[in-house]
């Protein structure tokens, strides 16, 4: 929590973090995976079941009874968050939390040649999120702009 406090001090005045979740039980992880399976089937109806399973693993990490890595949600070493302004309004990051598309990738807007005003805003906000959290010692899970783990 000290590292997150250091990261908060790096945010512009009036901005804070909004944390959606951190430690997840096996049961919660299982429910999330079932939800993701249904959403992926609707989003990617044309993909083979094998390709949808790859996407499921990218966005969920799979379901394991005994997790040995500390930097996971199951062990409380990862968390999902965003930045909110002084009114509690989430900054626009280009997708919702737990978006299951390529747009969720942290650097998605970096590679685009032409950007709308909203995409420019998302890129600016993601850059700020990345800058302050990395400076405080956190590491992003690249497919999800909201997913961070402590690296030290």
Q: Is the domain of 4 the same as that of 72? A: no
Residue 56: give the domain boundaries. Answer: 24-76
pLDDT given at position 112: 83
Q: Distance (Å, rounded) from C-alpha 82 to C-alpha 119?
A: 16
Tell me if 150 is assigned to some domain.
no
Q: Is the domain of 60 the same as that of 107? A: no
Q: Is the domain of 86 the same as that of 68? A: no
Q: Is the domain of 106 the same as that of 36? A: no
pLDDT given at position 69: 65
pLDDT average, residue stretch 57-65: 79
pTM of the model as a whole: 0.83
pLDDT average, residue stretch 37-42: 93
What domain count does the chain have?
2
CATH of the domain at 114: 3.30.1380.10
- Residues for the chain: how many in total? 152
Radius of gyration of the chain (CA): 16
Tell me if 152 is assigned to some domain.
no
Q: Is the pLDDT of residue 67 over 70?
A: no
Tell me if 151 is assigned to some domain.
no
CA distances from 93 to 35, 51, 107, 109, 125 (A): 22, 26, 11, 10, 6
Reported as a single tens digit per residue, the pLDDT across 103-136 is 999 999 998 888 899 999 999 999 999 999 999 9
pLDDT-based confidence at residue 34 (cuts at 50, 70, 90) = very high
pLDDT given at position 28: 86
């Amino acid at each position: 929590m000290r590292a997150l406090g250091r990261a908060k001090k790096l945010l512009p005045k009036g901005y804070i973090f909004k944390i959606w979740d951190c430690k997840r039980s096996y049961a919660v992880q299982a429910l999330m995976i079932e939800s993701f399976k249904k959403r992926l089937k609707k989003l990617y109806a044309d993909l083979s079941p094998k390709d949808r399973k790859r996407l499921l693993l990218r966005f969920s990490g799979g379901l394991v009874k005994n997790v040995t890595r500390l930097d996971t949600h199951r062990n409380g070493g990862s968390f999902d968050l965003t930045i909110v302004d002084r009114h509690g309004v989430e900054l626009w990051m280009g997708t919702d939390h737990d978006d299951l598309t390529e747009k969720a990738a942290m650097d998605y807007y970096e590679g685009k040649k032409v950007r709308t005003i909203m995409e420019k805003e998302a890129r600016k906000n993601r850059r700020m999120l990345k800058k302050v959290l990395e400076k405080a010692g956190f590491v992003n899970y690249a497919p999800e702009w909201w997913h961070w783990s402590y690296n030290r």
